[in-house]
Amino acid sequence: MRVPWRLLAVLLLLAAAILIPLGQKNYLIYVLTSWLIFSIAAMGLNLTLGYAGQISLAQASFMAIGAYTTALMTLAGWHWLVALPIGLVLCFVVGLVLGYPALRVKGHFLAFVTLAFNTLVFLLLRNEEWLTGGTYGLSGMPRPDLGLFSTDKQLSFYYFTLGVAVIAALAMWGIVRSPWGRAFKALRENPVRAESLGVDTRRVTLLAFAIGSAYGGLAGALVTPLVQFIEPGSFGLAHSLRVLLMVVVGGAGSFFGPFIGAAVVILLPEVLRFTEGYYLIIYSGLVIVMLVFVPSGLIGIWGRLRDRFRPQRQMRGDMPEGARLP
């Protein structure tokens, strides 16, 4: 039986993710855990931006909603597994509401709307001290206790996060391979044509924002027990731009792009620390070079190599594949 190369590559990467942290120091395990968490956040933005073509600068705000919801509930004595779905539902509903401006405005106008929402969430977190602790934040959130499996140690929490990331990735794979996924792509390519083919662009747009926001909430819910301290500055505009950079660098609209982009943004600065004070300059320069020479993201390099050494069958330009109804 012939094993598909994609499945083999995924299994090898999963094996590497399991084996690499063994015997490593807590700081490296923490960095790897951060990579997994931001990969989840980037997966959500990739669905909204890369697949559905709706720009958003508010992903960090949904991470904040998920983080503060789980933090407040776990500090009140609720289990993390109980707080998580409540945070996800809240992010889904808020993302659904935020998607309504996308029905009327597009492009940079939509970016400003989501930017304003991100600023609004930041100000609420900073000023409502009675609930969020204001600039002092919240601390002391417990890590999930799963009975036979404790996540108190850094390595055990890493494997817990890895399991959550795998489940989230499988769910995303099912979404993008479903009729909804094809509807998202049709919306991105040409909304007018998609609507003429029977796609409910209104519903698809709202769903893209809602699902992407829920993934941001999931990432925030994992940040809470990882660092066990959150404050408004952790979810400002800079972090939304950081997640956006992950999607663009990895390759918007590709399934593995968020993982690659998060690895570049989170892991590359750590690799370059041997250059001491110059590592941020080198890192910024490398990112600029990537965006200039590979505008489709790092995943696009593989596409170029594949097309060069294994040309694909050409399809007739007058017979495009139509989008199926969701």
Average pLDDT over residues 165-181: 93
pLDDT given at position 306: 65
Tracing tokens 């991105």 back to the chain, one arrives at 188
CA distances from 265 to 38, 137, 190, 200, 245 (A): 9, 25, 31, 36, 8
Average pLDDT on 264-283 reads 83
pTM (2 d.p.) = 0.90
Is a pLDDT exceeding 80 seen at residue 300?
no
* Residue 319 in this model has a pLDDT that exceeds 70: no
pLDDT tens string 4-57: 767 787 888 899 899 999 988 999 999 999 999 999 999 999 999 999 999 899
Dump pLDDT digits (tens) for 57-92: 999 999 999 999 999 999 999 999 999 999 999 999
| pLDDT score of 217 | 96
The predicted pLDDT at position 1 comes to 43
pLDDT per residue as tens digits for the range 190-243: 888 888 888 888 899 999 999 999 999 999 999 999 999 999 998 999 999 999
Give me the pLDDT at residue 305, please. Answer: 66
Question: Which amino acid is present at 310?
Answer: R
CA distances (Å), origin 263, targets 2, 108, 225, 246, 275: 30, 27, 21, 8, 19
